[in-house]
A and B are shown apart, each in its own frame.
Chain A
Amino acid sequence: MDNNKMVVSSSPHIRSIESVQSVMTDVLIALFPAALMAVLLFGYQALITMVISVATAMLAEALWLRKRDIYSDGSAAVTGLLFAMVLPPSPPWWLVVVGAASAIIIGKQVFGGIGYNIFNPALVGRAVVVMSWGGHLVGRVWSQPQPFAFTADISAVTTATPLSGQEEALAVSLTNLFIGSAPGCLGETSALALLLGAAWLFYKGHIDLRIPGGFIGVVFVMGAVFGGGFYGGALTTGLFHVLAGGVMLGALFMATDMVTTPVTTKGKLIFGIGCGIITMMIRLWGTSPEGVTYAILLMNAVTPIIDNFTVPQQFGGVKKSA
């Protein structure tokens, strides 16, 4: 894309120094707090998982595009890191490799590469590994975090996530969930770190608050209204649903992906609300404890329709007569 010397488009034109590479690098910076938190909580195994995932994703993209430049526009590194963040902290290495490669190839390149993919590549990777090797990702396979024990073997003690039942939920406090000291996917546990990263993206203007706002808002409201108030009252139950599981990571970093989400402002709000509703329907009434992955993938699928129905009225345009 950088090679195109002449771009023909309609006015108005704004010259921007922003490029795909600069945006992706910003996303990587924004993911740094969560990655750091993952290493602090889950030790060296989390670091290895992230390194394998990022390396595989970048390699898969470079091989597919037959490019020497392995970092290129940085989107593969972002996909790889996001994919690692939705995995357990110490999955088998081959699972990470197959998942990251599927994310890039099935999730992105077969559709035509960056800008053309329908589904969020990292979540496609996750869907592939969950459906293929559920035994490693569903049930009591989640490592208990061991803060600041870098060399500890975290796979020794495993448990279920707070979302899998009331007993597990009541075992963690809201503070623990906020800081991240709870069993869960490598990068999703710490709401604090994710919010710090998202603040950077918001400051740089890369994310629109309507999507995470609608998503998190609906999760909170539905958690409070339908959650049964088991977590010490309706409001705290709503808060629990926001902080536990993948809502923070999904809402801030995956539902805000520029390629696979609506471009219109109204559409963004609809997208966020839809994600929230599907997530909570799966959590409360479905058989699976967590539904963020499928919520975002399903909303990705209807993004073109949302965009189509929310085209804004042109300024000075005439209303279509019925």
Chain B
Amino acid sequence: MKASSPYLQDFTRGIVKENPVFVALLGMCPTLGVTAFIVNGVGMGLAAAAVLIASNLVISLLRNYIPSQVRIPCFIVIIATFVTIIEMVLQAFQPVLYEALGVFVPLIVVNCIILGRAEAFASKRPVLRSLLDGIGMGIGFTLALLILSAVREILGHGTILGPDPESAIHLFGANFEPMALFAQPPGAFIALGLLLAIVNLLFKRFNIK
């Protein structure tokens, strides 16, 4: 990749090079907690991404007005506002997903990725760059959750698009006995560890630093 404009870099950084899950190891709690099904993982990823983009935007707009002594409480208030909005939207329009994500939706408030980007990036950068950073990081987080939940759902349940039996597609036929380990919390850790190993291997192979 050519070192091009800072705008493009701000956008692409979060997707691969500084992927919040696979490289920075941030936001492990939802990453491990809700990735038993692809639908849940992607839903979580998009919800967090929406909060991240909105909070990056607002924090960047207000960056010259927030006193640095109280910046963390200010960030939290802004983030919590958007989380509350997302929570209500989910509850109204996606009740099944809202039930499945459970406590992890309000916990987006303390998601390290969002707070980290606010502190390290949005509070010091102009609006457009913060927005691009938020979108990139949001895509990176969603992508990571998609990969992890795909591994876990395919191995742990033998399906994609579950758990709803109407939409679930059984990949391996009725006689397949899924590897239930990956549907359980220990399997989340093992799958994440193996994915991190593969990501590191690929980074080394393709010289991404």
Contact = CB atoms under 8 A, between A and B. Distances in A.
B197 A131 contact: no
Contact of B187 (A98, A131, A133): A131
A133 B179 CA distance: 7
Interface in B160-199: 177-182, 184, 186-187, 190, 193-194, 197
B197 A110 contact: yes
B180 A134 contact: yes
A21 interface: no
- Point out which of B184, B187, B190, B193 has the most chain A C-beta atoms below 10 A from its C-beta: B190
Contact of B190 (A106, A133, A134, A135): A106
Contacts of B187: 131
Interface in A101-150: 106, 110, 128, 131-135
Contacts, number: 22
Interface of A is mostly: helix
B180 A132 contact: yes
- Point out which of B179, B182, B184, B187 has the most chain A C-beta atoms below 10 A from its C-beta: B179
A42 B24 CA distance: 52
Contacts of B180: 131-134
A197 to B, nearest CB: 31
A95 to B, nearest CB: 8
Given A110-B194, A110-B197, A131 B177 contact: no
Interface in A226-269: none
Contact of B179 (A98, A110, A135): A98
Contacts of A133: 177, 179-180
A131 B184 contact: yes
Contacts of B181: 128, 131-132
Contacts of A135: 177
A134 B190 CA distance: 18
Nearest to B182: A132
A128 B179 CA distance: 9
B90 to A, nearest CB: 31
Contacts of A98: 179
B51 to A, nearest CB: 34
B186 A131 contact: yes
B186 to A, nearest CB: 7
Contacts of A132: 178-182
Interface in B96-130: none
Nearest to A124: B190
A124 to B, nearest CB: 10
A138 to B, nearest CB: 12
A135 B187 CA distance: 18
A286 to B, nearest CB: 17
B180 to A, nearest CB: 5
Nearest to B197: A110
A131 B183 CA distance: 10
B139 to A, nearest CB: 29
Nearest to A92: B177
A128 B180 CA distance: 9
- Point out which of B178, B181, B190 has the most chain A C-beta atoms below 10 A from its C-beta: B181
A103 to B, nearest CB: 13
B185 to A, nearest CB: 10
Contacts of B184: 131
Contacts of B182: 132
9 contacts: A106-B190, A106-B194, A131-B184, A132-B179, A132-B180, A132-B181, A133-B177, A133-B180, A135-B177
Interface of A: 98, 106, 110, 128, 131-135
Given A131-B186, A132-B181, 11 more contacts: A98-B179, A106-B190, A106-B194, A128-B181, A131-B181, A132-B178, A132-B179, A132-B182, A133-B179, A133-B180, A135-B177
Interface of B: 177-182, 184, 186-187, 190, 193-194, 197
